[in-house]
Structure 1
């Protein structure tokens, strides 16, 4: 496995964990456990940032004219990165809605 694949798998792993945290946060909010939901959002953010930094390093390398070859695994990693970001936004909205409904 080359360096690019390792970075791609790091991104996939980190943002996959983040997305799982965001989904779990929605379930916790649905059950009225808002402190836990917010903690899961924070945990998800920490994992997301790890993946985002790994991705940013690749972008920086390419900006410095280092050749980053096309990779289906990297494309999947970028898709997962965007998906996790969307899940965070949705999770935060659902948590807020559940808080309003349970007041």
Structure 2
């Protein structure tokens, strides 16, 4: 597969991960915990796919610059890092939503 297509796959999976994370947060705001968990699971799966592509690219580079650094590659890396951070923060926010929900219902 052409390098540009591989990088686009990375962007797609990272974008899916971020989108599912945000959908999970929206579900949590509506107190729909099963849907929130479902979206979080989908976010993790998409992030795993993106991370596998990143790992393959790093392996192909061999630490010697075999993979040319381009703006689209930097963009893809940025998407992946943002998706990972988004998911981690969403998980924490959902945890807080649940804690507040429990306290409100006491």
Q: TM-score, normalised by structure 2?
A: 0.91
Which deviations, in whole Å up to 9, do the C-alpha atoms of 1:6-40 show, x marking residues without a partner? 11100000110110000010111011011110110
Partner of 1:42: 41
The SS at the match of 1:102 is helix
Find the counterpart in structure 2 of residue 56 from structure 1.
Answer: 55
Structure 1: which 5+ residue stretches go unaligned? none
What TM-score does the superposition give when structure 1 sets the normalisation length?
A: 0.93
Q: How many residues align?
A: 102
Q: Which one has the largest radius of gyration? A: 2
Query: Post-superposition shift, 1:66?
Result: 6.5
Structure 2's unaligned 5+ residue stretches are none
RMSD between aligned alpha carbons? Answer: 1.4
The corresponding residue for 2:30 is 31
The offset of 1:65, in angstroms, is: 4.6
C-alpha distance in 2 between matches for 1:65 and 1:74: 16
Q: Which residue of 1 aligns with 2:18?
A: 19
Post-superposition CA distance 1:20-77 (Å, at most 9, x none): 0000101110110111101100001111111110110010011275611111101100
